[in-house]
Amino acid sequence: MGWYDRILKRSLWVFHVSASPCNNCDIEILDLLTPAYDVERFGIRLVGSVRHADLLLVTGVVGKKISSRIIRLYEQAPKPLLVAAVGTCPAGGATFKESYTRAGPLDEVLPVDIFIPGCPPKPEAIIAGIIKLAERLT
Amino acid sequence: MIGRELFYLLVFPGLLFTAVVGCLVGVLDRKLSARFQFRVGPPWYQNIVDIFKLFGKETILIRESPTAVYVTAPLVALGSTMLAAAVLGSALFFRVDIGGDLFFFVYLLLLFPVSLILGAFASGNVYAALGAGRESNLLLAYELPFCLSLLIPVVKTGYALRLTEIIARQATGGAVIGSVSGLLGFSVMLLCLQAKMGLVPFDLAEAETELAGGVLIEYSGPLLACWRLARQIQYVVLPLTAVALFLGGFSGPGALAYPVGVLKYLGVVFLMVVLKNTNPRVQGGRMLEFFWKPLSLLAALGVILAVAGV
């Protein structure tokens, strides 16, 4: 959408969705918001409500019980909305690949814009992923 | 005549000017806060980009809420803040009173928290209701010392109630802050403005970390943009209130009047940012106690001193 995407990419407000994670990626996301990494340089802010979100950071194996709730969260957020899957779990399941509670990779539940692999990905890797996603919006 | 007032309202001291300046000063606040935390901070255009982005997003209305109140609350907040900017700005820049006197101005400032409370209750969210309860506590707490501190410049300038008169009499008789009662009033007012802006020691209503956005939790898209724009305009209006009432407005020797005025304004903003970054959020009860016990007493003492002529 041309000019609107150029505005959107400079002010991505992030909402953190935990979809049955082991908490490692969540801790890395919290590290991301510490002064050492300072994502406010790129206009990225962590918001507390999905209604303010532009980007969902989804972590964790997508469990069967949580998948309907993720869909509901996605529907509650105002569009245009981007989704980034953080960690190996939402992509391939990592060590929980064979688990009977797993609902499959995240892109079978939500339209995913970018996968950021790693177990857990370092904060630098998450920043690099979000910046790549932002550069795709032109 | 109508054309001139519309210009005041929408372009120069009103909406357009204060929105742009407010966004820039808002970034100054974010940038200074970032420096306090040893960070780099956002680029200078960040707040403008944020607001444009919000205007392009989807608005979500809630089925179980009174939609009329939910939608009009942010518009009333933005409109009243814009009017307050026009009233104060035209008194400061053009030395004309449009609309009314100090009482009118105080009521305009009051409309923002009232519509915030109404909008939050209308959104029907538990966190928003908690936030609205805290906002009404805050309103009850700071309004008493705020109004008492407003009386001090009124008394010091010979019972003038018009904004232009208060500014003009300070230009001839010296700024109100030069006296003991003026200094008392200014410090009380600074703390009340901090609460009016919802900045950190008194940000109980929004409280990102406890209430997840509190009063604004259900707002999205253009309606959220209206709230944020009104907040950015407050970055201009509220510090300028202190400048106009206590620091003598934009008056100085000849051509230096405007640069000196801008320096006064930036000084007040800097004090507020320092207060914001050196204090943790207070509890509701302690906040009420703080505003009612020491601050109201100090403000009342200031009024008595002002009447006595000190």
**pLDDT tens across B153-181, in order?**
899 888 888 888 888 888 887 788 888 88
Mean pLDDT for B81-96 is 87
**Which of B30, B31, B57, B206 to mutate to test binding with chain A, by most A CBs within 10 Å of its CB?**
B57
Mutate one of A34, A40, A44, A79 to test the B interface: name it (highest B CB count within 10 A): A40
B94 pLDDT above the threshold of 90? no
Q: Assign residue A13 the CATH number of its domain.
A: 3.40.50.12280
State the smallest CA–CA distance between residue B114 and chain A in angstroms.
22
Mean pLDDT of chain A: 88
Name the closest residue on chain A to residue B128, using Cα atoms: A49
Contact B217 A47 (CB under 8 A): no
- Structural domain span for residue A117: 3-136
Handedness of CA A125, A84, B215, B79 (dihedral sign): positive
User: What pLDDT does residue B1 have?
Assistant: 65
Q: What is the pLDDT of residue B237?
A: 92
| Whether residue A96 has pLDDT greater than 80 | yes
User: A48: distance to nearest CA of chain B, Å?
Assistant: 4
Average pLDDT of span B217-245: 90
Q: Do A40 and B34 touch (CB under 8 A)?
A: yes
pLDDT digits (tens, 9 = 90+) for A6-56: 888 888 899 999 888 888 889 998 888 888 888 888 888 888 888 889 999
Select the more confidently predicted residue: B309 or B151.
B151
Residues belonging to chain B with any Cβ–Cβ distance to chain A shorter than 8 Å: 30, 34, 37-43, 45-46, 49-50, 52-53, 56-60, 208-209, 211-213, 216-221, 224
Structure tokens, A121: 């990905």
- Is the pLDDT at B209 greater than 70? The verdict is no
Chain A residues close to B40, C-beta within 8 Å: 38, 40-41
Give the residue with greater pLDDT, B169 vs B207: B169
| Cβ-based neighbours of A3, under 8 Å, separated by 6 or more | none
Q: What is the C-alpha separation between B124 and B227, in angstroms, rounded?
A: 17
Angle B180-197/B296-308 helices, nearest 10 degrees? 150
How many domains is chain A partitioned into structurally? 1
Q: Do A78 and B220 touch (CB under 8 A)?
A: yes
How large is the ipTM? 0.86
Model pLDDT, residue B239? 92
What six digits make up the tokens of B191? 């703390």
Listed in sequence order, the residues at least 6 apart from B3 whose beta carbon sits closer than 8 Å to its beta carbon are none
Q: Average pLDDT for residues B2-25, to the nearest whole number?
A: 85
Full DSSP string of B107-175: HHHHHHHHHHHHHHHHTT-HHHHHHHHHHHHHHHHHHHHHHHHHHHHHHHTTS--SHHHHHHHHHHH--
A134/A12 Cα distance (integer angstroms): 8
Structure confidence at residue B304 (pLDDT): 92
Q: How far is CA B28 from CA A10, B18, B37, B43, in A?
A: 18, 15, 14, 10
Q: Which chain A residue's Cα is nearest to B50?
A: A11
| pLDDT tens digit sequence for A47-69 | 888 888 999 999 989 888 999 99
Q: What is the mean pLDDT of chain B?
A: 87
Name the residue with higher pLDDT: B206 or A121: A121
| Among candidate residues B40, B83, B290, the one with its CA nearest the CA of residue A39 | B40
Residue among B102, B77, B75, B128 nearest B189 (CA): B102
Distances (CA, A) of B232 to B22, B39, B138: 5, 22, 20
Question: Which tokens go with B233?
Answer: 């305009």
Residue B76 scores a pLDDT above 90? yes
Above 80 in pLDDT, residue B204?
no
pLDDT for the residue numbered B225: 92
Query: Count of domains in chain B?
Result: 1
Beta bridge partners of A57: A16, A84
Q: Residue A1 has what pLDDT? A: 60
Q: Which residue of A has its CA nearest to B217?
A: A49
Q: Which of B38, B55, B220 is most worth mutating to test chain A (most A CB atoms within 10 A of its CB)?
A: B220
Residue B258: CB atoms within 10 A of its CB come to: 12
pLDDT at A116: 92
Rounded mean pLDDT, A68-87: 90
Cβ–Cβ below 8 Å for A40 and B41: yes
Q: How many CB atoms lie within 10 A of CB A123?
A: 19
In this prediction, residue A79 carries a pLDDT of 83
Rg (C-alpha) for chain A, rounded Å, is 14
- Which tens digit of pLDDT belongs to each residue from B227-236? 999 999 999 9
pLDDT over 90 percentage in chain B: 34
Q: What is the pLDDT of residue B252?
A: 66
Domain carrying residue B136: 2-308
- Calculate mean pLDDT across residues B101-123: 90
The angle formed by the CA atoms of residues B157, B196 and B154, to the nearest 5 degrees, is 10
pLDDT of residue B217: 86
Angle in degrees, CA B306, B309, B310, rounded to 5: 80
3-class DSSP state of A86:
strand
Confidence class for position B115, pLDDT limits 50, 70, 90? very high
For the cut 80, the answer to whether the pLDDT of residue A129 exceeds it is: yes
